[in-house]
Amino acid sequence: MTFSPSTSSTPADRQGSVPERVRFEPLNALWLDHLLPVEHQAYSHPWSRGNFIDAMAAGNETQLLVSDQGELVGYFVAMVVLDEVHLLNITVAPAYQRQGWARILLDALALWARQRQARWIWLEVRESNLRARAIYSTHGFQEVGLRKNYYPMHDGPREHAVLMSLELWS
């Protein structure tokens, strides 16, 4: 799928250049060398190469959002369990953050989930990640629970995860 973003999907407070066109494509082993540096820039506890390889081997949905210049804009990894989709990882490359790409990734995820007749999308987000929580809330996700001591920290106790869900149909 290739498209050009509308003005509404690329806010005026851009930090970097906005690609003219982007496309979705599945993650494969060739992309891992491009994806891993983005993952390490974006997270204090990034996924490893093995995590991504395991996700692909398990048949999870692994979609990349790639610019017309071949730069990685973002990606998501999700798995289907019965009538639910669990979002395992969603990332916008730091150079493309605050430009509306997370919303496009979430829209693509919801479309993919609906095509699989999923009723819900579930995710966990660090309790301290207020920016991500706001994005998810704006997208219609509801905070429905707390997973205590879910995320590792560099030192000291673990961080709680906020459990969020989006109902796709009722």
What gap in Å lies between CA 157 and CA 154, rounded to an integer?
A: 9
What are the helix (H) ranges across the chain?
A: 32-42, 49-57, 101-115, 130-138
* Residue 64 CB neighbour total at 10 angstroms: 20
What letter represents residue 25's amino acid? Answer: E
Per DSSP, which regions of the chain are E strands? 2-3, 22-26, 61-67, 72-81, 84-92, 120-126, 142-151, 159-167
**Annotated catalytic residue, options 39, 61, 75, 124:** 124
Our answer to whether residue 167 is catalytic in this structure is no
Cβ of 2: how many Cβ atoms within 10 Å?
10
First to last CA, the chain: 28
The question of whether 151 is a catalytic residue gets the answer no
Structure tokens at 1: 């799928």
Catalytic residue among 39, 61, 136, 159: 136
Q: Active-site residues: which are they?
A: 124, 136
